[in-house]
Amino acid sequence: MRKGYMIVCDGSNGAGKTTVIKAIDAHLVSRGHATVVTREPGGTVIGEKIREVVLCPDTPELCATAELMLFAAARAQHVREKIIPAMASGKIVISDRFDAATVSFQHYARGLPLDLINLLNDIALNGFKPDINIILDLDPAIGIARVNSRGERLDRMEREKLEFLQKARNGYLAQADRDPKRFAVIDASQPLEDVISDAIKVVDHIVAG
């Protein structure tokens, strides 16, 4: 019998993932579901330590292969320590980014070979797959302007050139084109309430279905 679900909210930088996840969580809780909100890189004590290393703006020399392995290591821990146990107890896990981010950023944007990314994702996921990847799609120039308006220091990835972030955006769209059952693309340039309402429709379809 099926137990929990896993919903991923991913996409362009500053597209509104954190904001939309809060709304999805409130919606599911109001319907009596037990939820776990988490993020990548991160979600566990070890994953959050890896996050500090991989996003630190003071170490731009981090090489692409080490970057890839750090994201994969955080994911391996996240799946085994947090996601599988939560789903086994019937909870709905909502994650800010997951495996598709590695395909977009480390393959499409960074240029590492897709078979290497797939191998590391397979090792990290160990046969596990999320139920749906909601992709909030936005021009990265708008996303970075939104992030900048928070007045926080940009992380190592956010400091990449717009061209890099545009390649990552195209990577999400290419993955969604190839696998429309696993991906739902939402236009994140709409007013926030419309983005939230589109995301909740996707979630209701998955959780009810």
Which residues contribute to the site for ligand Z5A (CB under 6 A)? 13-19, 40-41, 71, 96-97, 101-102, 105-106, 146-147, 150, 157-158, 165, 188, 192, 195
Nearer to ligand Z5A, 191 or 209 (CB): 191
Task: State in angstroms the smallest separation of the CB of 40 from ligand Z5A.
Answer: 4
- Token pair belonging to 169: 């955006």
Nearer to ligand Z5A (CB atom), residue 91 or residue 167:
167
User: Between residues 1 and 20, which has the closer beta carbon with respect to ligand Z5A?
Assistant: 20
Residue 58 CB coordination number (10 Å) = 6
DSSP state letters, 21-42: HHHHHHHHHHTT--EEEEESS-
CB 123 within 8 A of CB 76: yes
Between 28 and 68, whose beta carbon lies closer to ligand Z5A? 68
For residues 62 and 23, what is the distance between their CA atoms, to the nearest angstrom?
35
> In angstroms, what is the minimal distance from the CB of 197 to ligand Z5A?
11
What DSSP designation does 81 have?
I
Three-state secondary-structure class, residue 82: helix
By beta-carbon proximity to ligand Z5A, the closer residue of 56 and 89 is 56
Q: Please identify which residue in the block is written with the tokens 């996003």.
A: 55
Q: How far is the CB of 129 from ligand Z5A (least distance, A)?
A: 15
| Region of residue 14 (phi > 0: left; psi between -120 and 50: alpha; otherwise: beta) | left
Minimum separation from the CB atom of position 13 to ligand Z5A (A): 4
Shortest spacing between CB 74 and ligand Z5A, in angstroms: 8
